[in-house]
Amino acid sequence: MKFSKLPSSVENHCSQHVDLSLPVEQTPMHGADVNAIDHTGQTALHWSAVRGHIQVAELLLKEGAKVDAADLYGYQTTHVAAQYGQTAFLCHIVAKWNADHDVPDNDGRSPIHWAAYKGFADTIRLLLFLGAYRARQDKEGCTPLHWAAIRGNLESCTVLVQAGKKEDLTVQDNTGLTPAKLAADKNHRQIAFFLENARRVHERGCGGNSYFVKLSKFGLAPLLWCIIIALIFVYMHSIILGDYNTNMTLPFGFFSWLGVFLATAGLVMFYRCSRKDPGYINKNTRDSQNQRDDEPLLKRGLHNLEVLDGNWSQLCITCKIVRPVRSKHCSTCDRCVEQFDHHCPWVSNCIGKRNKWEFFMFLILEVSAMIITGVTAIIRSAGDPASPSSFGGWLGYTAINHSWVVSFVVMDLFLFFGVITLTVIQASQISRNITTNEMANSMRYSYLRGPGGRFRNPYDHGVRKNCSDFFLKGYNEDIERVVQTLQPDEEMGPIQMGRSEVAHNCESTPLHGNGTDHCSTDSPVNSKSHRSKKSERTPFGLGMGLGRNNPSSRYVRSLLPL
């Protein structure tokens, strides 16, 4: 990726404030005005945000730089950090220097608008975690979700939808278009389908007064409970106590009743698993409006080691907490769960750190019970003296005279194959100390990738220790052994901050439009159609406008890529 050389005015401006050839702590200021501005109103602090130089920004701020300094277009340092995806820089100046993370620029666009527009999902997570107003509409009537939809960034849309409400999906801009319609208008079909589906899910969820919705909140646990009770009753009545014209021996009788005991014990584990706390992490219930009066609890959370290491996915934008590694927010329970495995509708609960032992024991007991009861049913029906000796004759005789036994065996086999599959999967994962969620998202979680990018489970201590910890303690330990690897920084030249130079370099690509143009990367001819030709140029300048009524900004808009 190539970038133009800095204008001489900007180079002189930066060189007056910071000598980047020296270590930051040795950089002399010589009484320079750290709040000096260039022709666009930008300070050296703005420039440090472009490259994410936290140490340089720290030096400038200690020397008296204004963290809330805005340029001619209303861009503060937080806007610039969001525009360039400098999440760590943004986190630092907000947590330590109380920079305003939700201040709008001259066009009514806050940093979260820019993060959504540029597709920086981690920056969006941080801003939402800090309580950024996601429903703010700019001068075009667009929310951050509108801009994410225009750009066709699925991850950004997903983060905003997960943190939002139904109203965020139905809000219209000044032209009457919702985010889904804007995505469809830009030919982002996957985004449009995702947003429409999210809207339908929200509409079904909002109809919570219906009997079906109220019943669905209980999950399938009552149904599974009734099925197990019914099977135990049929087994006892029609198989153990049924009339087969033959008496059971004592060992076989003990074997038959063992199935009842195991099934009953499984019901106990089933009840404990469905009622037990799976490992919920307490939410931050502080009122976000009162957090501005004293030290914000959310900002204290930004000093968490996971955040300092750059694991921005550990920020839960719903619970407003920094969740531990291996935990996940369950959309069904609306809570974060430690060692989240999966949400099981059959037990109407999440499976996590505190109830996975009960869940696995429930599977083991029920599988054992199904094997014993199935074998007992077949032996009892085959041992009936009145049944024919041929297989076909025996099958017909059993179906007519022992229909309940046939029904039991069919149901038992049907459930057995599903439960045994789940049991084997869970046993395999326990032996490797990994969860279902981690297996499904192994490519997304950085702590599950080794230096070469291959799958690596840092929590696997061997089958013996993994199994002993699980069965003796009830859970596996979270002892991280992740090896941090330094990735080479992407080669990046200085980014042009001057707007006049951009216009000069781009005179061959004018964009005819007006001041109501909607988007800088896929800018429409006018705000009514939201259509334009897609440009594939590299962005220049500090904080390009999403739409401005001046010639240079039109040239800038034509340069921004899709």
* Positions marked catalytic: 344
Q: Is 207 exposed, middle or buried (0-12, 13-18, 19+ CB in 10 A)?
A: exposed
Beta bridge partners of 336: 281, 329
Strand 315-316 and strand 349-351: pairing?
unpaired
Q: Is 254 exposed, middle or buried (0-12, 13-18, 19+ CB in 10 A)?
A: exposed
CB atoms within 10 A of CB 457: 16
Specify whether the CB–CB gap between 100 and 78 falls below 8 A.
yes
Beta bridge partners of 337: 280, 328
CA 244, 247, 250: angle at the middle one, nearest 5?
A: 135
**Spatial separation of the C-alpha atoms in residues 490 and 21, rounded to whole Å:** 19
- Report helix, strand or coil for 351: strand
Which of 323-326's residues contact partners 24+ apart within 8 Å by CB, and which partners? 323/281, 324/281, 324/478, 325/447, 325/478, 325/480, 326/435, 326/438, 326/459, 326/478
- Best CA proximity match to 119, nearest among 138, 89, 145: 145
Tokens of residue 556, six digits: 């800038």
Residue 448: DSSP 8-state: G
Which residues does 481 contact at the CB level (< 8 Å), separation at least 6? 458, 459
DSSP H helices, 276-319, are 297-301, 305-308
Specify whether the CB–CB gap between 349 and 273 falls below 8 A.
yes
Specify whether the CB–CB gap between 558 and 511 falls below 8 A.
yes
- Best CA proximity match to 342, nearest among 412, 258, 218, 437: 437
Specify whether the CB–CB gap between 235 and 375 falls below 8 A.
no
**Spatial separation of the C-alpha atoms in residues 75 and 397, rounded to whole Å:** 85
**Spatial separation of the C-alpha atoms in residues 169 and 278, rounded to whole Å:** 32
Q: Is 325 exposed, middle or buried (0-12, 13-18, 19+ CB in 10 A)?
A: buried
Q: How many CA atoms lie within 13 A of 286 on its CB side?
A: 20
**Distance set, CA 415 to CA 109, 127, 238, 408, 411 (Å):** 55, 47, 19, 11, 6
